[in-house]
Amino acid sequence: MKTLGAYVIATSIATLALFATSCSRPTKFSTILEGGFNPEAAFRQHGYTVQNETRGEGIRNPVYGYGWESWCGVLTGTPQQVGCEAVATLIRDELNKTLGHGSLDQLTVGTPPSEGHALTGMLLYNQEGVHGNMYVWLTPAVSNTAISYVIFLREERLK
């Protein structure tokens, strides 16, 4: 009788441990969210000056399977460089380079905004068991010599 009771208790503990670990599998985020994506470095590499940059704001919650990060600042460059479409293409290309494949592009497709107007859109991807939504807001200065940018990335575990 004692052996049967010990067996039931051991089996119950093993079942609960198996159940607990299968329900709370921690998320491993993609290389994008883990520091592989660096838009400021890409901007500088292409000749832009980055001012008022803010990076590193974000949260990673591997237990619940989501994380986010944001980047923002002001870009200045030569007159040939300063344009929302060029910056949007640079952001898309940097994301795709970091991914190692293309993203679903809802940022640079369609009719570009008229000069002096903001450009907004999304880039979407699936990688390493997570889905990513990258929201981009680009707003040119009235003088058309600078662009304010905000990039917000959110990843969540694929089910």
Least Cα distance to 85 among 143, 37, 149, 142 occurs for 149
119-127 vs 146-157, strand pairing mode: unpaired
Beta bridge partners of 157: 130
pLDDT for 13:
54
pTM: 0.80
| Within-domain flag for 135 | yes
Do residues 93 and 108 touch, judged by C-beta distance below 8 A? Answer: no
* Nearest alpha carbon to residue 81 among 23, 15, 147: 147
Overall domain count for the chain: 1
Is residue 81 classed as helix, strand or coil in its secondary structure?
Answer: coil
77 is a domain residue: yes
Sign of CA dihedral 124, 125, 126, 131: negative
* Regions of the chain where pLDDT drops below 70: 1-25, 55-56, 79-81
**31 belongs to a structural domain:** yes
Give the CATH number, domain containing residue 31: 3.30.310
pLDDT tens figures, 120-159: 999 999 988 899 999 999 999 887 789 999 999 999 998 7
pLDDT value for 35: 82
Question: What pLDDT is recorded for position 44?
Answer: 92
Cα angle at 30 between 26 and 31, to 5 degrees? 130
Residue 21 has a pLDDT of 45
Structural domain that includes position 98: 26-157
Identity of residue 60? R
Residue 133 lies in a domain: yes
Q: How many residues does the chain have?
A: 159
108, part of any domain: yes
**Would you say residue 42 lies in a domain?**
yes
